[in-house]
A and B are shown apart, each in its own frame.
Chain A
């Protein structure tokens, strides 16, 4: 089955992974900007990173017939450095016309601090000013519930934000309802140990229905599985769900959401 992975950090994966993804049915990827595993020291590091996301990765993906899209920001972890964050935010517009940029992301919170919230709000201003879609990272483990509620407070406190153009990622059992019932899109991240298993993701689909819901692998440089979406497809098939339902989650929904950004042309 053809599918789209809406959140996959291919800069930290090998070219072999692109080939495996293509063999498994992956036809398009969206890659949000994220933490490199270490804090970068200058705005020039981010400029190079954004060139990698907008120039190099699309070519690498294209070799395997996969469309590559991306999102730009300074991530929540590095947002603790407010002055660097502001330099990066000021530089991002240089890349917004690149042909694979879908919007601003993954912005969000990490440890739910004042600095992170300040930079999150400044990213929202940037997205509104340039009419960009938004992809949001919610914190991990014990910080997730508090951080997700804080993020929703900031989004809902800004009347300029079009909720149908915002994807809130890494939802789990205790946060999904808050995201969906307030009109946002939700992403479930299939990730070993932290975040969500394919089985729990299938439970959430059964519980909350398939509207405005998608799944991703968030494959990155840590322990993760870039082919986690085929695992979810398999789980849903095993449970007897229809091909239409599965396709809606893994293909139709990401396509519908991304199609709100002009550069998205897939299918």
Chain B
């Protein structure tokens, strides 16, 4: 089954300019939070550059700045464990007769 997804054509009523205007302060605040978090890490003792979490955050921030679309989905996938389509075999889960 492949059910076609129908987003309503007129569903996004706002223009890009309106969205930037409406959400500028919210986005600005989020960037500042992130900047302050990075400053906090920088000021603290220890080196986290090579840790998995820090590498994920760095890669995530690169996604925000690149020219590709689907940024939220790509950040989600970056932060996700890999899916193996053969997982049933590796877990010895019996397949249902269908």
Contacts and interface: CB of A to CB of B under 8 A. Distances in A.
Contacts of B11: 205-206, 209, 241, 245
Contacts of B72: 173, 200, 203
Interface in A129-145: 141-145
A192 interface: no
Interface residues of A, number: 40
B93 A121 contact: yes
A210 B5 CA distance: 9
Interface in A76-106: none
Given A118-B93, A181-B2, A208 B76 contact: no
Nearest to A145: B80
Contact of B5 (A143, A144, A181): A181
B3 A180 contact: yes
B98 interface: yes
A114 B76 contact: no
Contacts of A181: 2-5
B1 A182 contact: yes
Given A157-B98, A209-B11, A182 B3 contact: yes
Given A163-B1, A183-B3, A209-B5, A239 B93 contact: no
A145 B83 contact: yes
A117 interface: yes
A167 B7 CA distance: 20
A173 B3 CA distance: 18
Interface residues of B, number: 33
Contact of B76 (A117, A145, A239): A145
Contact of A211 (B6, B79, B82, B98): B6
A205 B6 CA distance: 10
Contacts of A205: 11
Given A207-B7, A208-B5, A239 B96 contact: no
Interface in B1-33: 1-8, 11-14, 22
Contact of A209 (B8, B14, B77, B79): B8
Interface string B87-98: 110011101101
A145 B81 contact: yes
A180 to B, nearest CB: 6
A149 B83 contact: yes
A177 B82 CA distance: 17
B79 A150 contact: no
Contacts of A208: 5, 7
B3 A209 contact: no
B76 A150 contact: no
A36 to B, nearest CB: 26
A238 B23 CA distance: 12
Nearest to A125: B96
Contacts of B84: 146
Interface in B41-92: 70, 72-73, 76-77, 79-85, 87-88, 91-92
Interface of B: 1-8, 11-14, 22, 70, 72-73, 76-77, 79-85, 87-88, 91-93, 95-96, 98
- In order of increasing CB-CB distance, the 8 nearest A-B pairs are A174-B76, A145-B80, A159-B98, A240-B13, A209-B7, A149-B83, A173-B73, A173-B72
10 contacts: A117-B91, A141-B79, A150-B83, A153-B88, A158-B98, A182-B2, A205-B11, A206-B7, A209-B6, A211-B5
